[in-house]
Homo-oligomer: A and B are copies of this chain.
């Protein structure tokens, strides 16, 4: 995610709210997956690659570097002949992890509801042939207008 929104030259507004901070670690398809995968102890590169299901070698490397840079992962390299590298969460990241599991748990509880909401929204918005023409995209509830 690009820092700098429109980036007014001269006036640096960054670091204003901590929200942006979180987003930078949490956003992106892979960061969370990596943290979760690395949470159960030291994990090797290839283990992560296999555990994460769909991540490319490149993206894994990039995200690992970023997480290491931000102090969320420690990278330990053993100078053995086939090189061996292990990643672990820092204390800071373990704390973050506990919040993350809350998120995942939430997703598990509501994934059905979300899928249902999507289906409802989509069928309401794009029926192959609108039988009686409902121009309104969302079935927006219209309470009695007060003003």
Contact = CB atoms under 8 A, between A and B. Distances in A.
A99 B103 contact: yes
Between A27, A74, A147, the greatest number of chain B beta carbons within 10 A of the residue's beta carbon is seen for A27
Contacts of A9: none
Given A27-B27, A78-B143, A113 B71 contact: yes
A140 B13 CA distance: 33
B18 A138 contact: no
A50 interface: no
Interface in A55-103: 55, 68-72, 74-80, 84, 92, 95-96, 99, 102-103
Given A1-B29, A27-B28, A77-B140, A18 B108 contact: yes
A71 B116 contact: yes
Contact of A32 (B22, B77, B140): B22
B5 A19 contact: no
Nearest to A28: B27
Contact of A75 (B69, B110, B138, B146): B138
8 contacts: A13-B53, A18-B107, A18-B108, A22-B32, A68-B138, A71-B118, A76-B142, A99-B99
